[in-house]
Amino acid sequence: MGTVSLWLAAVGFVASAALHFLSFTPWAALPGERAVWGLGALVFVLAAGMVARLRRTAALGRRWGRVAVYDWRALVGKVPPGLQLLVVGAALYAWMNFVLCVMLEPGAQAPGAITLRMASGHLIFFFLVPLVYFRWVEPRLEANRAAAEPPRS
């Protein structure tokens, strides 16, 4: 499951980046809304898989009544520092892209191009998070869990 999720996250990341670049060209209306909806559904499936695996493998930091909070610093610590900056940069880019798309004059470009640009800019970030998780965080969590388990005889 982890390898399939990793590949799906990578393909989704590349597809959303390609759609984002396409939104700056005259062919922005070519992919249509179905591509964005399909990628959006895929990213929700990946997020659900990521949360399910986190619930199984991650150490809980603290509890507030019945609500368990994960120790996010330990999870982020498993990601290489350069990639941490890349994820933060992608989040900032998605926010900046959203604000700029909202500020555009409606007549400046086709409405489909603006919608595609806005959605695909967010999808880049939303696919990058599972990609980083399934590539760097989950293998280290599994290795730590395997090392902590006593050997079976």
pLDDT string in tens for the chain (153-residue length): 679 999 999 999 999 999 999 999 888 888 888 999 999 999 999 999 988 888 777 566 666 666 666 777 778 888 999 999 999 999 999 999 999 988 987 776 677 888 899 999 999 999 999 999 999 988 888 887 777 777 666
C-alpha distances in angstroms, 150 versus 57, 141, 144, 146, 147? 16, 16, 12, 8, 8
Structure tokens, 4: 């399939």
Of the candidates 149, 97, 150, the residue with the CA atom closest to the CA atom of residue 122: 97
Global pTM? 0.86
The 3-class SS string of 126-141 reads HHHHHHHHHHHHHHHH
Of the candidates 96, 62, 83, the residue with the CA atom closest to the CA atom of residue 137: 83
